[in-house]
């Protein structure tokens, strides 16, 4: 029921802030993922030209691992502490200069993981270009899926926050992982995307490497949170 009571106004303001934060997370997630793809294709094209990601592989990532988690972020209930922060300047853009720096940081971390996976394939496994490409594809897929957890608000708990409590995020991750497995399991689709079957051990290694940016970024957030408490 609509009224002009203070509690109703406060609730409406909180809801509006949650919507804005969700939109901001949606944009930050998509832009950082796409920027990392640009970095990866460029760097692999220079250091490992035969193993660089192919257009159809990028298209698959954009339609699956980018879209589903991003939509899940938009459907979340939002950070419960939004009313503890001062009002934002309405003249500021959705993505501020500070957010652009964060996006570059996220993209660089994800890019580093994929390049590391590429060198692991070349130097440790002594794999050919096609296998290296497949390892880079898997690593990028999972690094982007893990990246959704970096969208939690600054100062929130690592394991319990508005992202981990968002059921749509878990549904999106399940859909993306299932589709990725299907791509490798069905020979016709695997051939279209020019991917190779990989041993389970290699899958686990690629997934472990893809989790590194999440660990680094969460440790950085924890350090910042600890620093803020001390000051």
pLDDT at position 11 is: 59
Q: Which residues contact 184 (CB under 8 A, 6 or more apart)?
A: 190, 195, 197, 198
Q: How confident is the model at residue 89 (pLDDT cuts 50, 70, 90)?
A: low
Considering the domain boundaries, does residue 32 fall inside one? yes
More confident residue, 83 or 181: 181
What is the domain extent for residue 152? 6-230
**CATH classification of the domain holding 88:** 1.20.1110.10
Q: Which of 144, 164, 168, 127 is nearest to 63 (CA)?
A: 144
pLDDT at position 1 is: 45
Query: Where is average pLDDT lowest: 32-46, 132-146, 147-161?
Result: 147-161
Token output for 76 = 């979340």
Query: Where is average pLDDT lowest: 4-8, 49-53, 87-91, 149-153?
Result: 4-8
Considering the domain boundaries, does residue 200 fall inside one? yes
Overall number of domains in the chain = 1
Considering the domain boundaries, does residue 43 fall inside one? yes
Instruction: Give the whole-number percent of the chain exceeding pLDDT 90.
Output: 65
Q: How far apart are CA 179 and CA 40, in angstroms?
A: 22
Considering the domain boundaries, does residue 1 fall inside one? no
Task: Report whether pLDDT(183) > 80.
Answer: yes
Considering the domain boundaries, does residue 126 fall inside one? yes
Would you say 159 and 95 are in contact if contact means Cβ atoms under 8 Å apart?
A: no
Q: How confident is the model at residue 216 (pLDDT cuts 50, 70, 90)?
A: very high
């Amino acid at each position: 029921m609509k009224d002009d009571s203070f509690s109703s106004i406060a609730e409406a303001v909180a809801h509006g802030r949650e919507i804005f934060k969700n939109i901001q997370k949606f944009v930050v997630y998509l832009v950082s993922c796409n920027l990392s793809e640009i970095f990866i294709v460029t760097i692999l094209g220079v250091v490992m030209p035969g193993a660089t990601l192919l257009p159809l592989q990028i298209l698959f990532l954009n339609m699956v691992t980018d879209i589903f988690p991003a939509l899940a972020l938009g459907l979340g209930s939002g950070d419960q502490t939004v009313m503890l922060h001062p009002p934002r300047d309405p003249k500021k853009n959705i993505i501020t200069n500070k957010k652009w720096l964060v996006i570059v940081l996220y993209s660089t971390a994800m890019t580093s993981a994929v390049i590391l996976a590429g060198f692991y394939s070349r130097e440790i496994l002594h794999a050919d270009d096609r296998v290296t490409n497949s390892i880079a594809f898997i690593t990028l897929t999972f690094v982007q899926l893990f990246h959704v957890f970096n969208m939690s608000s600054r100062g929130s708990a690592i394991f319990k926050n508005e992202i981990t409590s968002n059921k749509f995020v878990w549904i999106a991750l399940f859909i993306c992982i299932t589709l990725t497995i299907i791509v490798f399991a069905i020979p016709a689709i695997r051939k279209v995307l020019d991917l190779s079957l990989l041993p389970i051990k290699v899958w686990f290694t690629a997934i472990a490497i893809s989790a590194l940016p999440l660990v680094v970024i969460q440790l950085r957030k924890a350090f910042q949170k600890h620093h803020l408490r001390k000051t």
